[in-house]
């Protein structure tokens, strides 16, 4: 799963790809975005993850889905991202 930032040609907003963890809230889904980078000293690959709250207007995401999110204006205290589309549905 690639988690690098993807810049679209028509928008300057950041886009990330991650896994949906939780969809218990109404119109909100929690996304985990994982990034891998070499350790500055030891050069071993290190994985770090961040959780983002994203707006899901139609409640289409379920746990385990691979989704693409895009930054937006603040929608609530924690929500700063919007779900663009589902890349891959969970089994």
Q: Do 1 and 66 contact (CB within 8 A), yes or no?
A: yes
Whole-angstrom CA distances from 20 to 3, 28, 64 are: 13, 10, 5
| Domains contained in the chain, CATH given | 15-88 (2.40.50.140)
Q: Read off the pLDDT of residues 9-43 as tens digits, 9 standing for 90 and up.
A: 567 999 999 999 999 999 999 999 999 999 999 99
Answer whether residue 90 shows pLDDT above 90.
no
DSSP secondary structure code for residue 14 in this structure? -
Q: What is the pLDDT of residue 11?
A: 73
pLDDT band at 91 (very low <50, low <70, confident <90, very high): confident
| pTM as predicted | 0.82
Tell me the C-alpha distance between 19 and 2, whole Å. Answer: 11
Closest C-alpha among 6, 22, 17 to residue 64: 22
């Amino acid at each position: 799963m690639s988690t690098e930032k993807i810049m679209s040609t028509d928008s300057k907003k950041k886009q990330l790809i991650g896994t949906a963890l939780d969809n218990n809230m109404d119109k909100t889904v929690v996304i985990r975005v994982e990034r891998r980078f070499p350790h500055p000293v030891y050069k071993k690959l290190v994985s770090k993850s961040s959780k983002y709250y994203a707006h899901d207007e139609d409640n289409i995401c379920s746990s385990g889905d691979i989704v693409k999110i895009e930054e937006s204006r603040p929608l609530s205290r924690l929500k700063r991202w919007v779900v663009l589309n589902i890349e891959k549905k969970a089994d």
